[in-house]
Structure formats: C-alpha cells, structure tokens
Structure 1
Amino acid sequence: MTAKPGTLVVGSDIPYVPFEFGEPPRYDGMDMDLLHEIGKRLDVKVVIRKTPFDTIFRDLAQDRFDMVASSVSITEKRKKVVDFSLPYFNADQSVMVQRGSSITDVKDLAGKRVGVQIGGTGELWVKKHLTSSDIRTYDVVDDAFKALAASQVDAVINDFPSSKYAERSYETLKVAATIPTGEQYGLVFPRGSELRHRINQILLEMKRDGAFDRIYRKWFKTAPPDKLLSGRKG
C-alpha cells in the first residue's frame, strides 16, 4: 500500500501555520496531528519530506512520497492529475493588511502591491480577479507576511485560517476581509492509489470515534462543521 512497507512518506510544504510548521523531526500542526493518528491506525512510521508547494504535485507523481498533506485545496483542475481524500477543512481566501491600512475590501486592491504564495489557490484567485494589481509571489506564505510587515507589499491574499492564525505572530497585521470561495482541503494521492481508500476509511473512523473532533478543536477551539469528511459543502 505504501512504497516502503512500514513507512508512510508524506510531502508537505512547511511552514504553513497552523497546519504544518516547526523544525525536523518535530513538525507540528493540524495536518501533522492527522498524519500521526493515521500512521498509528495503519501501524506505520510517518516520515515527513519538506517540499516546495510549486513542485509538490510533480514530486508526488515521481514517487518521492506516498501522499501529500499540505493544506491543499481541492479543485477540478488538480483532480485531473491527483486523487483527493474526503475534505477535512473548509477554507476561504482572505485579505491581510497592516493595522491602520485604508484597505478594507477586495475592491481597494486595484493598483496595489499584493503578495501571494507561489502555486496556491490565492495566486490563482489574484491573477483572475486583480488584473490591475502588482502581484508579488513568495515561495512560502510566511515570507509574504514578512514583506507585508515591512511595507514591501500592501496586502497578502491567502487562505483565511492560515492568515487568521498568523495574526498571533504578527501584531501589526490583521485580516481585513474574507473572500468566499467555498474551498476545502484534502489529503492528496497519486491517481489510482489504493492508499486513498484506506485513509478515507480511517478518516471516517476518526470522525465516528471523536479523534478528528479532538484534533480540530485543539487548533481552532471550536467543533468541526458536521459536513466535513462527508464530501458535502458546508
């Protein structure tokens, strides 16, 4: 089921707080907690390979790892090249700015310098909707936050939960607006992977026995929406 018996090798773009962050071998975050619970139930050792997001799907196709756990939004385009697990997190986009900024909504971003992470759905959204903005890309979203704090960009478009959590680390920054996109995160597998079916079974077990609820509450201090791990929106 895995390329190396007894080991589950997982690609992840780190850091992306609060889903994956820290230093090897002690990575932390919601995705990491999910992986270690999955590993226990599969009776395998979980090995994390830190990988840039813009090459993570190519590396998966080249068998560098068995799966990807990296806050990956499920999209129709991506489903043409990879398989996804049941959705485990709802995530809209957001506009992050410096406190005191005059930017309060998406409409204020025309002509502004906007930072995004390379390869993410935020970059896709910006290129489609902010054609008059000065788009600046970063390998990891934390670099975009640092650029915003240093006034090198005027705003950052990024997944809402990650940006909201980052307010704790960047006292001068705040989420000014949410961009409803209906995105959901899923774990990622090569097309036709047998592992996907088994991990979906485990995720449903975790939902039934409360393990998923405990992990979700640990990071977000609230219960997960009922429709998660069901394939339905909401």
Structure 2
Amino acid sequence: MDMRSFYASAVLASVLLAAGSAIGQEKLLIGTDATYPPFESLDASGNFEGFDIDIGKAICAEMKAECEFVNNEWDGMIPSLVSGKFDMVISSVSITPERLKLIDFSDRYYNTPPAVAVSKSSDIADIQALAGKTIGTQSATTHANYAEKHLGQSELRVYPTADEYKLDLANGRIDGAVDDVVVLTEWVKSEAGSCCKVLATLPIDPVINGEGVGVAVKKGSTLRDRLNAAIQAIRSNGTYKKINDKYFDFDAYGN
C-alpha cells in the first residue's frame, strides 16, 4: 500500500471512530420535579428514584444516550423546557390539548386516573359530600383543573408541591385532596399518610386528563420519534414490565 494511502486511511478511521464515539456519548438533560413519589423523588442520599426515573433511564439506554436528571419546580417545568433548560421532561406530565399548544409529547408511557383522599376520621362518605369542603391539590396540574371543573362546589386550595397539601390534610387544615390515584394510594400506605384513606377513584376527563402521561419535548423536537421507538422497545422486550412490577401490582400503562 502507498504510504499516502495508508495515512489517509488511518486519518479516515480516526475521524469515523471519533464520530462514532461522539454519537455514543450524546448527553441529554431531563427535567423532573422530585417531590412526587412513587413516580419521582429523592432518596436519603439525594439520588433520583421512582417509576418515572427508571423509565427515563430505560428509554435513554434504548436511545444509547447519556442522560442526566435535573430537579426543577413543577410550576416552571414547561417554561424551562421551552427555554431550553433541558431537552425533555419526564415528570408525570399528562398529554393534554392545552399543553400540546406549547410543547410536543412522546406516546404515553402510563395512564392512571385521579382520586380523592380524606382523613380516616372524616364524616365525608362520598364525592357529593365534598360540597362546601376545602380540597387541596398541586397547582398547575391536571388535578387542579379537574377539581375546579368537577368539584366546583368545594373550596379549592392549591399548593406548589404535593408534599404541602399532604401535610395540610394530615393536620386537618383541609378536608380532602385530589391527585393521581397511585400517588394517593402509596401515600396512605406510608407512615406520613396513615392519617388518611382514598375515598374514591374519579372518572377520567379526556379533555383535562388527556390521553395519559408522556415524555414532554420542545415543539418540533427530533427526539419525539426516537422516544416513541424507545418506549415501544421497552414495552416489547420486557423492560417496562420489570419496572412496572417493581412499583405496582397492576399495569400502569392502562387501556
């Protein structure tokens, strides 16, 4: 081989290797609000944990991307995504018509209904008995919108985080709370939530609750198709079921 050809081949191989390495090292930032167990929270060491976190890691593995979770307050989540603070959001974000005006979503990766929790000592026996009572929920969520529309005879009190409404319900400062049925069910099983019980699961409102929870991305993001392929892959290869069964005794994907 001519030495010039040899060196040219070596240079080309180096360039291709570097390009391949760069692709393999793609880094994506994922926004999440780690105050929403069992979907996303921080453990005692400050590490992210939860169903959404594990799903996010599995999706990134399928996409062969290095991903880093970024903790962000819920109220500023969508504006932060739009401004480019991170590449996507995996934080139990429901796919709703209103949000689709601002951002895009992957296909859903779970779909669970809202519910109402009350104190175990409460005389509230059904949803109708919430009329005139004070209900807490997290602000800027589908659950707040749901309560405003369907529980309008109650006084609605919104909180920046789920932890805050839980504390007020446990201490008797509000009469009930609306959130995802899984979040409330897991909370009432815990020591902190032993004060309370899930009163009822609420019917999904397609306009408010949307078609389930998806990965949120900026409008027009090329990540959307890759995310959909990754979600389909983990559903097909059993990874999704392993994660699901780690947290739940039912299929969170829904119908």
Q: State the TM-score, normalized to the length of structure 1.
A: 0.90
Aligned residue type for 1:171: S
Q: Which runs of 5+ in 2 are unaligned?
A: 1-24
Provide Cα deviations, 1:76-120, integer angstroms capped at 9, x if missing partner.
111111111111111211110111212232211111111010111
Equivalent pair of 2:105/2:214 in contact (CA under 8 Å): yes
The aligned counterpart of 2:224 is 196
d(CA) in 1 for partners of 2:67, 2:214: 18
Q: Is the 8 A contact 2:33 2:73 kept in 1?
A: yes
**Cα displacement (A) at 1:125:** 1.1
1:180 maps to which of 179, 185, 203: 203
Aligned partner of residue 18 in structure 1, secondary structure = coil
Aligned partner (choices 55, 69, 72) of residue 48 of structure 1: 69
Question: Are the aligned partners of 1:9 and 1:67 in contact in 2 as well (CA < 8 Å)?
Answer: yes
- 1:205 corresponds in structure 2 to 233
Partner of 2:15: none
> In 1, are the aligned partners of 2:111 and 2:252 still within 8 Å (CA)?
no
Q: SS at 1:88's partner residue?
A: strand
Is the 8 Å Cα contact of residues 28 and 68 (structure 2) preserved in structure 1?
Answer: yes
The unaligned stretches of length 5 or more in structure 1 are: 229-233
Distance 1:105 1:151 in 2: 18
Whether the 8 Å contact between 1:149 and 1:172 is mirrored in structure 2 is: yes
Larger helix proportion of the pair: 2
Partners of 2:112 and 2:252 within 8 A in 1? no
Is 1:95–1:105's contact at 8 Å kept on the other side of the alignment?
no
Is the CA contact 1:18–1:162 (under 8 Å) kept in the aligned structure 2? yes
Quick one: which of 153, 165, 168 aligns to 1:132? 153
**Mapped partners of 1:90, 1:123: distance in 2:** 17
Q: Which secondary structure does the structure 2 equivalent of 1:60 belong to?
A: helix
What does 1:1-234 align with in structure 2 at a 5 Å threshold? Answer: 6-23=26-43, 26-169=47-190, 170-181=193-204, 183=209, 184-225=212-253, 234=255
CA distance in 1, matches of 2:220, 2:125: 44
User: Computing the radius of gyration over CA atoms, which structure comes out larger, 1 or 2?
Assistant: 2
**Percentage of identical aligned residues:** 31
Q: Given residue 33 of structure 2, which amino acid in structure 1 is its aligned partner?
A: D
Verify the 8 A CA contact 1:213 1:224 in the aligned structure 2.
no
The residue type equivalent to 1:204 in the other structure is Q
- Give me the whole-angstrom Cα distance separating, in 2, the residues matched to 1:102 and 1:221: 30
Q: Which amino acid aligns with 2:160?
A: D
Per-residue CA deviations over 1:161-202 (Å, capped at 9, x if unaligned) read 111111122111110111111541111111111011101101
Give yes or no for contact 2:62–2:233 (8 Å, CA) kept in 1.
Answer: no
